Structure 1
Amino acid sequence: MLKPAAPLDSPSDPAYRVPWRLDRRRAPRFELRNASAERLVGFTLAVLGPGTLIWGLPTAVEAGAAVRFTLHAENPARGTVVVVRWSRPNGDEYLWRVSF
């Protein structure tokens, strides 16, 4: 959803902390946990660059719940990025790029 930009002289909204915590200890299997108090909807994962992403298809992630995914790439640190997409309950959409 596109929103008009706030005028430069108006106060902006407070920063929104990325609600995800990524557990990398079992690479190439990863766990992405919703560390917020909100149910996040419209959840998707996408891979950019060389690699294959395997994950289930939840469209909503409850507060405290986790999504597990596997990333197969020869050398993910050299150009593979996973993009996490979600929406907050108020409808605002966010993207977060995860590098390896």
Structure 2
Amino acid sequence: MLHTETAYPVPFQLERSDSPHRYDLRNRSDEPLDDLTLTHLGTGYAPPLRIRRLDPGQALGIAVFGGASEDAGVVVVRWRRPDRQEYLWRVAL
């Protein structure tokens, strides 16, 4: 079966200017993203986050405590688009 749909690009930009202790996850898409959850894996600790909606242009701060500066770990981001489909993005900090 041939699929003709264009791939859905990751709607986020991860801003690392204050790394390794703080990151900003910005919605760079034109649509609101709902039911966001962030889970940190790796050294240190980042509290799990859950927010109802991240509108276009908005950013969410991620704080990492006590991690090694050369390896802050991975964040798994889950969200839903307006059509209610769930997506997942795993990004190395």
Instruction: Please give the TM-score of this superposition, normalised by the length of structure 2.
Output: 0.85
| 2:71 matches 1:77 | yes
Matched length: 91
Deviation at 1:94, TM superposition (A): 0.8
Determine what percentage of the aligned residue pairs are the same residue: 37
Q: Do 2:35 and 2:50's aligned partners in 1 also have CA atoms closer than 8 Å?
A: no
Residue by residue over 1:49-72, the C-alpha shift from the partner in whole angstroms, topping out at 9 and shown as x without a partner, is 232114764221011111011112
RMSD (Å) for aligned C-alpha atoms? 1.9
Classify 1:56/1:93 alpha carbon distance in 2 versus 1 (closer, same or farther; 3 Å).
Answer: closer
Counterpart AA for 1:86: W
**SS in structure 1 at match of 2:71:** helix
The higher radius of gyration belongs to 1
Query: Runs (4+) of structure 1 moved beyond 6 Å?
Result: none
Instruction: Please give the TM-score of this superposition, normalised by the length of structure 1.
Output: 0.80
Deviation at 1:82, TM superposition (A): 0.6
Give the whole-Å Cα distance in 1 for the aligned partners of 2:23 and 2:32.
Answer: 20
